[in-house]
Structure 1
Amino acid sequence: MFKRRRFKQQLTLQDRLAAWSKAVHEQAAALPPGPERDALIKKARQADVANHLDDWVRSTGLQPPE
């Protein structure tokens, strides 16, 4: 059986999503309006939503069921 290669992330998921989203927004801003730009904006928006969901899940207001 093969041994999996493990990689310890240096940045948190939130940091990586925010950086990737910002980079994709900048790429989309450089493109002319069209389907390619729309696809990049959609991916960046999905990363923003994932980041917000992660914030929500980690919030102190949520309590595990008893």
Structure 2
Amino acid sequence: MKILARRSPEPSSTFEYRLAQEALNLRQQAKGMPAGIRRTELLRKAGQIDAAGEVNKWLTSPGLLAPR
């Protein structure tokens, strides 16, 4: 029986970096779309991901300083 090791993310691929990349990807997708519900959903999701990144930064900061 062969056990597969779970691949860990690359060192440069932090959670914050992956969030930023996903938001950028969603904005790129929305850029090529006509105005409409799907485009709005993509941009809203990108904004939510940006907010998640800010919350993560705040939660992982030393001393839990309030976000600016």
TM bucket (normalised to shorter chain) is: 0.7 to 0.9
Task: Quote the residue 1:29 is aligned against.
Answer: 31
Alignment TM-score, normalising by the size of structure 2: 0.77
Consecutive unaligned residues in structure 1, runs of 5 or more: none
Give aligned-pair identity as a percent: 33
The aligned length equals: 61
Higher share of residues assigned helix: 1
Deviations 1:7-51 (A, max 9, x none): 201110100110110111111111110001011011111111110
Structure 1 residue runs of 4+, over 6 Å off? none
Q: 1:13 to 1:35 in 2, by over 3 A?
A: same
Alignment TM-score, normalising by the size of structure 1: 0.79
Consecutive unaligned residues in structure 2, runs of 5 or more: none
**Shift in Å at residue 4 of structure 1?**
7.7
